[in-house]
Amino acid sequence: MDNKSWVTKLIIVINVFVFLSWNFLDNQTNVNSWMFRHFLVSWDGLMQGRVWTLITSVFSHNSLIHLFFNMYVLFNFGPIIETVLGTKSFIKFYLMAGLVSSLTHVCVSAFLLEKPGLPALGASGSISGIILIFSLLFPRQILLLFGLIPIRALYGALIFVGLDLWGLIMQSEGGGLPIGHGAHLGGALFGTYYYLKNKSLVRRGLDEARK
């Protein structure tokens, strides 16, 4: 990560701070209930007026493994996309991808899964958007799927989208894992939309980054 990628670094710091708030302040200040109200997003929460959770939940993790995995992926892919898009555009993209992923989650949970109180948190939606832009910019780049299997970036992204679609179908049938597949798909959809809508600008940013 180079010195120009300060936004990615700041996002990681904020996520770590929120994680610490979840795990180390609750016993002293009863902040856990406050965190629940302000850093989890759900349809019920939105109906109660907590619209800010559409964004705050994107910076929220209460599990170490969840935090580590998301920040590891962000640490590796974030600086590349930040360099290509530029600082201001990257901030807007990251927040919009998070917002869309949160909206997708609440709509899926309320209308498909019929669980309007189902909460979600995590940066996975924004990171899904980053991965999709990366895979469209560098479709032939070899990545390690699950850290083990070498695969081209575009194929890897398609596999993850397929797994999230399958997982969402399983959840709609009453099974599946407690994973925010709707949020992942929302972020991936936004990443694809952003790339296609701004393809010339993104490509120009890539050319300038290579100079």
Active site amino acids: 124, 184
Alpha helices (H) in the chain, listed in sequence order:
6-24, 26-29, 31-39, 43-47, 53-56, 64-85, 87-107, 124-137, 153-172, 181-197, 199-210
8 A C-beta contact, residue 122 and residue 77: no
Count of residues in the chain:
211
Please give, one letter per residue, the 3-state secondary structure of 22-61.
Answer: HHHCHHHHCHHHHHHHHHCECHHHHHCCCCCHHHHHHHCC
CA dihedral over 188, 191, 197, 202, signed as positive or negative: negative
Over its C-alpha atoms, the chain yields an Rg (Å, rounded) of 17
Q: Are 143 and 156 in contact (CB under 8 A)?
A: yes
**Across the strands, what pairs with 149?**
145
Handedness of CA 70, 71, 73, 79 (dihedral sign): positive
Beta bridge mates, 150: 144
